[in-house]
Amino acid sequence: MFALPFSLVWSILLLCRFCSLNLVGAQNQFAGCFVQGPDSGGDDVLIFFEDIIHDADICAAKCAGWNYAWIGYGFLCYCSTGFVEPFRMISGGEDTCISSGWTEGRIVSTSFAFNRCGSSSDSNTPRLGVQSPKECFENCKNDLYAAFKIDDTSSSGYSCWCPTNLDNVMGSTCGQGGTFYYSHPAAAAASGLSRRNARLEALERRKQISMQTCPWGLTACLIPDLQSSDAWECVDTSTELESCGGCIHGTYDNQNAKQGQSCLTEGVKLGAATCLDGQCFAYACEAGYILLNGACQKQKQSSLEL
């Protein structure tokens, strides 16, 4: 009998282990019990009329590619893109909704896993208004936990936050008053964090390259009336009369940079303006203008002159 080398067997076992982890990470998860699922009639809802399905997992499998699966009265399976309104949620636990005559909602695919329903004791954690569990998971994709609940103060109907731990969470019935807590495997959270860090590093590198286009102390200002946005000149915006305090026609590769101003404005005498530390100052004005706080302002005509 032919025997496989031990190293090859070990490699296969490791591969199968990681495959199983990926499958577990993509399993459907409990989202609550509801009076009914989503309303039918739109392109964002699919109903399997021809099948009688008694299991929420089977319904979720049939809804692959959709965001949510719903199984309830008559054992009809619904698939939907969006979540349902908060007022449809009722009290009930996982795998008990259907037997009680209600509809069970499932999140079709996520790397999060349903942990429990409980009281929200972490009231100081910042909360975000969301419309669905999937939106909450996206917000907490770099964290170990996600919390989702009905919130009457949120315009979207639900709120979401990312707890650091669940140590002080007391278990409660899932429903209107409870919070749905989901756990995120450390590897999945780290993967999301590493992707975010990679994007931030790329942005920082781009920023550094942009800063190196001109010598220190000078800014790369776009040249007007040229078709290419890659044409710029290096300007000292702390003293330049026509780009005082920033580039007047835009900064190369930085749309968020402060826009400057021209010190050669109407009413200023020729040669009677300066740019000092990025601020325009006039010290003489043309006739009909008065000097006020370093700027020339048009003089109002008196009633005697009218």
pLDDT value for 50: 63
Q: What is the pLDDT of residues 128-172, one digit of tens each?
A: 999 999 999 999 988 899 999 999 888 889 999 999 888 888 888
Backbone angles phi, psi at 273, to 5 degrees: -140, 155
Q: Is 22 helix (H, G, I), strand (E, B) or coil?
A: helix
Whether 153 contacts 189, CB under 8 Å: no
Give the residue among 125, 172, 171 at the shortest CA–CA distance from 146.
125
Q: What is the pLDDT of residues 188-246, one digit of tens each?
A: 655 554 555 555 555 555 555 555 678 888 888 888 776 456 678 899 999 999 999 99
Q: What is the pLDDT of residues 242-296, one digit of tens each?
A: 999 999 988 887 788 889 999 998 899 998 999 999 999 999 999 999 999 889 9
Residue reference for tokens 């790369």: 220
- Amino acid identity of residue 120, one-letter, is S
Q: What percent of the chain has pLDDT over 90?
A: 37
Task: List the structure tokens of 124.
Answer: 């100081």
pLDDT value for 54: 79
At 34, the pLDDT band (50, 70, 90 cuts) reads: very high
Give the residue among 113, 70, 67 at the shortest CA–CA distance from 88.
70
Angle at 120 between CA 116 and CA 126, to 5 degrees: 120
pLDDT value for 227: 47
State the Cα–Cα distance between residues 189 and 180, nearest whole angstrom. 19
Global model pTM greater than 0.85 = no
